[in-house]
Structure 1
Amino acid sequence: MSEPLIELKGVSKSFGSKVVLDNFDLKIYKGEALVIIGPSGTGKSTILRLIAGLLAPDTGEIYIQGQKRQGLIEDAQDPIFIGMVFQQAALFDSLTVEENVGFMLFERSRLSRRKIRELVTQKLEMVGLSGVNQRYPAELSGGMRKRVSFARAIMANPDNPQDNPEVLLYDEPTAGLDPIASTVIEDLVRDLQHTDGGCGTYVMVTHQDSTIRRTADRIVFLFQGKVQWEGQVSEIETSDNPLVRQFFTGSLIGPIPVIG
């Protein structure tokens, strides 16, 4: 198999006395759709933040395209650009949609405002949003805000290919959405993987059954700080792993403790 785009080796992370990741290993390959699942509070979002360079591991190593990362993302530039879509969209409320989507270009490029506007419009059309450039986030539905955050995450800088995303990280992209809006987002995730100008590799954290089944090529089950199961969507129903069985049936009986 080819060299992974991203690799976590023996990564451990604690917050106070709580061990979230315990000697955790993970490989992410170019062109794959990896979905990380598991009970709440098991460190799934922490993995995304480690990959993004927003957190540093307590111990262990992170490699980006074979290059060991030193410190956080602001300490040294990774060999590839990693984009992130946050759970709550994380848009700037005081900026228009156009200013949100084009934020990186406004801040880091020498492109004219007219050119940035053209690029923003293209990305918004890719995510199914036309004519919303001058709206503010408060004027959009939850599903529309998610799509705006997708457009921002895939924004490329024609002046600097180093700024073009090679990997997208999705943190609960369908959380809080109704089933129809979730389907729109799930389809969009897949479309962006195979669309020119999108991003061919992604890692997602989600609890949603439909989102797992419709967006995953490979599934990793995280529990007690380690990978407890790994497989394809087609293996969900045939797996005899008790964690997988309990998670997908919603049973109160099994190795995953019931909280609350």
Structure 2
Amino acid sequence: MAEKTGIGSGIVETVKTIVYALLIAGVFRTLFFQPFWIPSGSMKDTLLIGDFLFVNKMAYGYSQYSCPFAMCPFTGRILGDEPELGDVVVFRHPTTGSDFIKRVIGLPGDKVQVQDGILYLNGQEVPQEPDGVFVETFEAQGPAGSLPQCSNPSPGLGADCIKEKAVETLPNGIAHSVLNIGDTRLDDTPVFTVPEGHFFFMGDNRDNSTDSRVAQGAGGVGMVPFENLIGRADRVMFSSAGRSMLFFWTWRSDRFFEAIE
């Protein structure tokens, strides 16, 4: 009988340890940091497919989307600080429920427009300085096996895929890289006025990004409510160019712990 009691006690202690570990992990994920894996190329070359990062949830306070499965039992936002122009943010899409990562380009009350591929904020051109080209291999990328878009036409598999690169400097002095593939419908937009309590987002890979330039009902992101922001992306922790993070020979060691600008 004593032996059975010992075995039963050991099982109970193991279950309690697992439960405590899950509770601690849940609290940590809810209050502090959420892992995020980059699935697409919309933020190249700032973020690459296969980058792994932790999203800082403390940066903008908390909403229902701070909890897994949006289960936080309140509406609105508490302890909230608004993002700044240029922040790279993970947010919940207002209609599809998917998590997106983009850069804050417009704050509440701002007027945003793109003309000939150049960003204008409140009627003022946001300067871009040419910065050479971004070159990657034309091959399947990430678990989805998607092929990159290139400015050089029809490169063969294994060839160089080239995009024009520039450094864009926002009015608050934040400078970041943007890529250009060619002339697309996203290069010319109407003037958007950002409503109160909302934000305007764009990807750094400007011609290959689903973002606020297209309305939600037309397959885009539209204006994103403050409540839908999950947190700020500050640093790449790990990066893998392969279809799985277990393929160690595809790890990008030069990107480990790299700050996101």
TM-score by length of 2: 0.25
TM-score between both structures, scaled by the size of structure 1: 0.25
